[in-house]
Structure 1
Amino acid sequence: MNQGTIKLVGGTDTQAGELAAYDALVAQYMGAAEQGCSEALLDLGMVFSTGAHGLAVDLVEAHKWFNLAAVGGQDSAANCRAEISEDMTAREIAEAQRRAREWLRANADRARRVA
């Protein structure tokens, strides 16, 4: 089940502990998303769209998570998805949609709980 690659932004030794905590928080979001939590899907979209929690900005991943959150009933996710789409190419949007479909197929039982 490929959720996408989480790319942590490198830091100094003094930041290593902070990055580990951020990585754990993102992993927590991922786990909640896999359990059908639509709020976690929205949180992941926010993380990837802003580069929060030590992650690199990845609009394709953000679009994917916002799309999944919108399907799960998070009204604000559709607005977030539309906003970042303005900064994406048609190819990037198509890739994000492909990844969302792939995630839904891989998580069919959980996706039913999200929708």
Structure 2
Amino acid sequence: MARFEMLEQGFGTMGSTAQADILFELGMMYATGRDCDADVVAAHKWFNIAAIKGSSRAAELRSELSASMSKVDIAKALRDAREWMTAH
């Protein structure tokens, strides 16, 4: 599974639009299986974080994705997003 770490110095100070764009692309990567195995939980997580950072498109795709996910998977995605936001 592909993994993209955003530990580079300066990510936290990057403009929120740039952050949202990067996070949105991570969601797209996992949603479509581009360069990794498709993973709807990971896609939801990244779309959720991108939406929090201001991406309206990420919010739309997160909502569409949620319609096909189980409550357990949605809960895991939300928990993963919360953990990532707390750590970063």
TM beyond 0.5: yes
Point out where structure 2 has 5 or more consecutive residues left out of the alignment: 13-18
- The count of corresponding residues between Structure 1 and Structure 2 is 81
Secondary structure (helix, strand or coil) at the match of 1:73 reads coil
> Normalised by the size of structure 2, how large is the TM-score?
0.83
Q: Percent identity?
A: 41
Point out where structure 1 has 5 or more consecutive residues left out of the alignment: 1-6, 9-25, 108-115
Which residue, 46, 53, 59 being the options, matches 2:28?
Answer: 46
Please tell me whether Structure 1 or Structure 2 has the larger radius of gyration of its CA atoms: 1
Residue 31 of structure 1: aligned partner: 6
1:48 touches 1:59 (CA, 8 Å); kept in 2? Answer: yes
> Normalised by the size of structure 1, how large is the TM-score?
0.64
TM-superposed CA distance for 1:31, in Å, is 2.9
Asked if residue 77 in structure 1 is aligned to residue 58 in structure 2, the reply is: yes
1:32 touches 1:40 (CA, 8 Å); kept in 2? Answer: no
Residue 48 of structure 2: aligned partner: 67
Structure 1 residue identity aligned to 2:72: R
TM-superposed CA distance for 1:35, in Å, is 1.2
Distance, in Å, in 2 between the alignment partners of 1:97 and 1:72 is 15
Secondary structure (helix, strand or coil) at the match of 1:31 reads coil
After superposition, the Cα gap between the structure-2 partners of 1:32 and 1:42, relative to the gap in structure 1 and judged at 3 Å, is farther
Asked if residue 93 in structure 1 is aligned to residue 68 in structure 2, the reply is: no
Higher share of residues assigned helix: 1
Distance, in Å, in 1 between the alignment partners of 2:24 and 2:39 is 14
